[in-house]
Amino acid sequence: MICITGDMHGDLSRFDKLKFLKKGDFLIVAGDFGFLWDKTEREDRILKKIGKKSFYTLFVEGCHDNYDLINSYPAEEFCGGFTHHISGNLYHLCRGNIFNLGGTRVFAFGGGVSADIAERQQQNRWWGEEAVSEEEIETALEALDDHGFEFDIAVTHEAPASLKQFLAFESTLLTRIHFFLDEVRERAKFTTWYFGKLHKNKLIPPKFQALFDECIYIPQNDKEKKKVEKLHRKR
């Protein structure tokens, strides 16, 4: 089973809402994970607690994550792509990689641009790495080319430029990352694209899903499919 959700911002109670996830399953957070921020003893205990869960917790970075801390963790290959291994079953998915999660191909691309850059710069809470580099774009294009520009799902923090303009949110903040994601949208074959930046739970037909605190479950076998269908009937 794969479960995808939006920005957590360090809210540990979000894990209480998860259903069905068992040993070997995958939770993916679409940016602003928020649990790597101050490098305190309390934060370290929380990270270890998350890493000890039976399922894997994976996240792409957003606009409100501590990039210095994330990049300080050891680089490690995981499910066919590169990650930062945080603790136990907790991993950061590096930009532009395609991961094979139990047969489901996931294109991961974190980072983005937010409207509060000036304020966060004054607070020393802004990192230049939030913006995409040309090297990261080349890495992503190589990975996509190796897979014939095909994957099952995309998990990003930002949305493609055309989608941002359509939704009219922060439409003036269109930068390199948005136009690159638009290129991927146009060239790649995929089933669904999830992103967290909008801070809303909104389906944008036919293939896009904005996520905040909703959990989307993707079954990977018939038994899991029945569980998900049962959950949908209860809603």
Q: What is the pLDDT of residue 17?
A: 84
The reported pLDDT for the residue numbered 190 is 98
CA 203 to chain centre: 17
pLDDT of 96 > 90? The answer is yes
The answer to whether 75 and 69 are in contact (CB under 8 A) is no
Residue 194's pLDDT band (cuts 50, 70, 90)? very high
DSSP character for 1?
A: -
| 3-state SS class at 75 | strand
- Per-residue CA distances from 102 to 116, 140, 169, 223 (Å): 38, 21, 34, 15
The tokens 């896009």 sit on which residue? 208
104-161: pLDDT as tens digits: 999 999 998 776 665 666 666 656 677 789 999 999 999 999 999 999 999 999 999 9
Residue 124 confidence (pLDDT): 66
Checking 170-173 for CB contacts under 8 A at 24+ apart, the result is: 170/114, 170/115, 173/113, 173/114, 173/115
Taking residues 45-62, what's their average pLDDT? 97
Quick check: 33 pLDDT over 70?
yes
Tell me which residue of 113, 215, 196, 199 sits closest to 154, measured CA to CA.
Answer: 196
177-202: average pLDDT: 94
* Cβ-based burial of 140 (10 A; exposed 0-12, middle 13-18, buried ≥19): buried
Burial class of residue 122 in the structure, from the number of CB atoms within 10 Å of its CB (0-12 exposed, 13-18 middle, 19+ buried)? exposed
Residues of the chain with pLDDT > 70: what percent?
90
Q: How far does Cα 61 stand from its chain's mean position?
A: 7
**What's the confidence (pLDDT) of residue 117?**
65
Where residue 34 sits, what CATH number does that domain have?
A: 3.60.21
- Given this model, what pLDDT does residue 108 score? 98
Residue 172's pLDDT band (cuts 50, 70, 90): low
Task: Round to whole Å and give the CA distance between 112 and 110.
Answer: 7
* Number of domains forming the structure of the chain: 1
Residue-level pLDDT at 75: 96
pLDDT tens-digit readout, 65-95: 889 999 999 999 999 999 999 999 999 999 9
Q: Which residues constitute the domain of residue 192?
A: 2-234
Q: What pLDDT is stored for residue 50 in this prediction?
A: 98
pLDDT for 16-26, tens place per residue? Answer: 988 789 999 99
Percent helix, strand, coil in the chain (nearest 5)? 35, 25, 40
**Summary mean pLDDT of the chain:** 90
At residue 227, the pLDDT reads 81
